Structure 1
Amino acid sequence: MSYELIAILMFASMMVLLMTGQRVFAAIGFVAAGAALLLYGQGAVEMPFNATFKLFNWFPMLTLPLFIYMGYILSEAGIAEDLYRMLHVWFGRVRGGLAIGTIFLMVIISAMNGLSVAGMAIGATIALPEMLRRGYDKVLITGVVQGGSSLGILVPPSVVMVLYGMIARQPVSQLWLAGVMPGLLMAAMFVIYVVIRCRINPELAPTVSDEDLNMPLSDKLRLLRAGIIPFLIFFAMTGLFIMGITSLVESSAVGASAATLAAAIKGRLTWRMIHETARKTLSISCMFLFLILAALAFGAVFDGIGAVRAIESLFITRWDLSPWQIIIMMQISFIVMGMFLDDTAMLVIVAPLYVPLVKTLEFDLIWFGVLYTMTCQIAYITPPFGYNLFLMRAMAPEEIGLRDIYRSIWPFVAMMALTIALVMIFPQLALWLPQTVRGG
């Protein structure tokens, strides 16, 4: 049997197992283990052992549980809810102000969390009911929450970028910096879209009544304190890291400690909250660990049989595709796979194939990591199996149906696709900040 046929069988077997509903790490790990035993015999039992120690020797892995813990404790402590109250009061008189404020809230939560789950939970349970009660169009605000929450995997500290950095062997600090400008550009597009839609059709977003905002200026200024804690946490975590005062692992520890201290200062740090936060953190962290172990084993077998070089030969020699055509094909494959898989599953499946090919084509792997992460954002909200679609359906108020959720996402998908196109045409949108900081 040729190595090309073995590679196709491995990939096809993995996809079949994933379609049966098996857990992602189990499907990938089973195919990797089975192929290794068939190809290399009993010596293959050393592969998971080596993969485990390779993983444990990679210190940025320590950042994952710390960032996940930080996000959950900020959510459980109600700090995000306080932020929304502040945004509600200060943006309430602007047409579409609450929707714009929700986008800003999502950016702030993204900067404190690194995952889209926390932003989605806060937006669906706090922001959506408030905006519905004030007469906002349910399709518009559902799209705002879904699009805004997806910023969590692009704005630093992005957990997805940490995973990409581990698999592609790229510095996480450079990936984080590369995600800043595309993330802010995307958020700006969302805001402009809301402003234009509300100007064209004012009925979509009525202004908040004077009765709701009848508050003395001194009370409004006091509400601004809700933004102080998130800013201090973000500065302590990301600012110190970018300035070179703390390492990546130290930065995540600072963020987790600052979040715990903030919850204690607010008087909301209880044993019950700590227990619940620790349980959720352990669950998500173990899932990521098993996925990465499976990915390392799968990648070792796949690379060992020469599948990566076979794909390079197919694209470059046989099909005679240009480097840019190959990159576009990769992006399209991400979008198609994202309709059925989550971002982590996509990464562990395609990274062993695409990362060496991108390196061969002499594209910047930091830039490609940003492209991958932005495509994951589309995958999060694209039917039929977009992760955020199901989260939204589970947490949204009853009056928002699945049809409303599907209708709401297309303008935001279009804006995300436009941002991807801009980053492909102008790579410096992603590379300028990391190059500037590294050069300085």
Structure 2
Amino acid sequence: MDAVERLISYLKIDTESIPDQDHIPSSEKQFDLARVLEKDLKELGVSDVRLTEHCYVYGKIPSNLSREENAKTPALGFIAHMDTAPSARGKNVKPRIIENYDGKDIVLNETETLSPKIFPRLLDAVGDDLMVTDGTTLLGADDKAGVGEIMAMAEYLLSHKEVPHGDICIGFTPDEEVGCGADIFDIPGFGAEIAYTVDGGILGEVEYENFNAASGKLKIHGVNVHPGSAKDKMLNALLLAMEFNSLLPPCIPANTEGYEGFFHLCDMSGEESHAEMNYIIRDHDKAKFEEKKKIFADAAEKLNQKYGAKGASFEAVIKDSYFNMKEKLKDHMYIVEVAKTAFEKEGVKPIVTPIRGGTDGASLSYKGLPCPNLSTGGDNFHGIYEYLNLSSFRKMIDVLIRITQEMIGKKP
């Protein structure tokens, strides 16, 4: 099957994950894609294919090297996640291909337009084929593009037996978008010594640094009385929430970039007597990360001291999510160098950049599987303006195949 046709079939399967669940997968519908991938891998001839009760899909392409060569070649993994972000609807995805993009506005529907005036990186894709949404859902290229690229790589290697490679391990995970994708990943059963997640953005990205990440939850109990007799008694929880936010530094996603960290208010709810706020806290630098967590906790304590005697309270709960994988990859930088070489040999300039987010690879690196991240060719993830550069998508397939070649003999 053509790689793009296969990808479209995956994009049309709803795999939206659900936050704050106590089980994996967070949504049963992720099995709908997992079962298709299990079937497709078996049909391609991948060995040891298995779908677990927790919706992880594993498979292996055995080495065709000599025993001597294989001993010098690390077992190599490629990983992508099946779920899509809950920040935009993932049901009834209707992908559309724009051939030979001309640099102009792309009308998604009667009310939504994908414009280079707002998203100037579109202009880098002039002349390329793009895949876009219909403006009512996300596309799901994050990370079904990665899934499709790995599947196309597997199909190529299995239909071209003359191409040498070591052991290739394939893994597809659930729930990456809600931070649980690596929680029960079977590293011993996966069989790889090193791996790449294929879960990045624009073509050429090689990422081995990511945010240290935590969630910050704040519960506010106010004092509510009739507004007509509220003088010196009412403590409106919603207004207290606004005061709490004002105590945080103004480093938010909209005004930070590169290595700059942030506080991000994801959602808030409540009324006069009770309010809740959910934040994510991010920084690449571990010391600054710890400082941000302290600022969050101190802001709650300051307001407890200010309003506690008047009946209000602030409960802050901070929970670490993942850490910067650079700490675990700094002793395995040959993995990054192999990826850079593969891009260069395929005519693509490598872009070594920090991830302003996280991947399964961050958690897997801390669990003992060094795992930097590679591009997919997509952009504007997690929303209706998501698009995939199909020219980059096809090139990434070549890059993954090239990596399997470049990894031969690279075992430390």
TM-score relative to the length of structure 2: 0.28
TM-score relative to the length of structure 1: 0.26
Structure with more of its chain in strand, by fraction: 2
